[in-house]
Amino acid sequence: MLKRRLIPCLFLQNGLIVRSQEFKQFKQLGNPVSQLERLNDWNADELVYVDITREGAYDLKRDDLKHASRSDVVSILRDIATKCFMPLSFGGRVKTLADVDALIANGADKVVINSGVIENPSLITDVAEKYGAQAMVVAVDYRQEEDDWLVFSHSGTQRTAWNLKSWLTEAQKRGAGEIFLNAIHRDGLASGFDLESINRACEWVQLPVIACGGAGVVEDFIDVFEKTPVSAVAAGNFFNFTENAYIRVKKALRQAGINVR
């Protein structure tokens, strides 16, 4: 039987791995290439890298950092691909099919796109037709407001015209292969996954859904796998901050009878 996946999500900012909280505060965790050995030890099901560098961002604290450019991310990806033998997804600042071409050519198996497909929804179809639907992961950042979940773009800073249901339906119609759900209102708060929105999202689309945002304790992972039909669960800070967290969560999931690798 197909395994449900547990995915470490790594956020890159100006070429470094960072942790994020509510999409606003960032803390540097280290160099992505020097972290590779650790990631291999985890024996993870898949890795998702998201480049959250703001356009034109420049880190004044570090004079050894250049202005972040597309080629930096591609070279990071290329280094990772030489040593990591697992599916790699890459996202962040992907706007055009040419951006996608560069990522796929340098070792990404899938691309994760958020603002790029909000601005230009036909990019979903273009990527799916060129590389297969499974390579097109639509990342959906949403926030609960009153009695609806509203979709945001540009790292959670811009409200879009879509609510969660309408955007998921649109993404599926245009040929998305997978949905990466990121609950902004839970990002980095360690208060558990937003089970209600995840369950509704799984009803609205027939695509594999990856849930992200809110993992605080090991039980949160068991909870989301038991109480929703998600194909995969992703987390960033949780895996990056606690020693052996990935391996411990995997073990706990197996013990709880969840069908994981």
Q: Which residues bind other proteins (CB under 8 A)?
A: 1-3, 5, 43, 45, 81-83, 85-87, 104-107, 109, 132-134, 177, 206-208, 231, 261
Cβ atoms 135, 128 nearer than 8 A: yes
Q: Decide whether 10 or 29 has the Cβ nearer to other proteins.
A: 10
Task: In angstroms, give the least distance from the CB of 2 to other proteins.
Answer: 5
Q: Decide whether 118 or 233 has the Cβ nearer to other proteins.
A: 233
Q: Using the 8-state DSSP alphabet, how is residue 7 labeled?
A: E
Distance between CA 166 and CA 257 in Å, rounded? 34
Q: Could you please report the per-residue DSSP string of 26-48?
A: EEEEE-TTTTHHHHHHHT-S-EE
Task: In angstroms, give the least distance from the CB of 184 to other proteins.
Answer: 27
Q: Give strand pairing partners of 16.
A: 13
Q: Give strand pairing partners of 150.
A: 143, 163
The C-alpha torsion from 44 through 88 and 126 to 232, rounded to 10°, is: 10
178: tokens are 């997978």
Q: Using the 8-state DSSP alphabet, how is residue 186 labeled?
A: G
Radius of gyration, alpha carbons of the chain: 17
Q: Decide whether 60 or 85 has the Cβ nearer to other proteins.
A: 85
Three-state SS for 165-181 is HHHHHHHHHCCCCEEEE
Distance between CA 251 and CA 253 in Å, rounded? 5
Q: Decide whether 4 or 186 has the Cβ nearer to other proteins.
A: 4
Task: In angstroms, give the least distance from the CB of 13 to other proteins.
Answer: 25
Task: In angstroms, give the least distance from the CB of 175 to other proteins.
Answer: 13
Task: In angstroms, give the least distance from the CB of 224 to other proteins.
Answer: 17
170: tokens are 């649109």
**To 5 degrees, how large is the angle CA 188–CA 252–CA 84?**
70
Q: Decide whether 68 or 137 has the Cβ nearer to other proteins.
A: 137
Task: In angstroms, give the least distance from the CB of 88 to other proteins.
Answer: 8
Task: In angstroms, give the least distance from the CB of 55 to other proteins.
Answer: 28
Q: Decide whether 57 or 105 has the Cβ nearer to other proteins.
A: 105
Q: Decide whether 5 or 186 has the Cβ nearer to other proteins.
A: 5
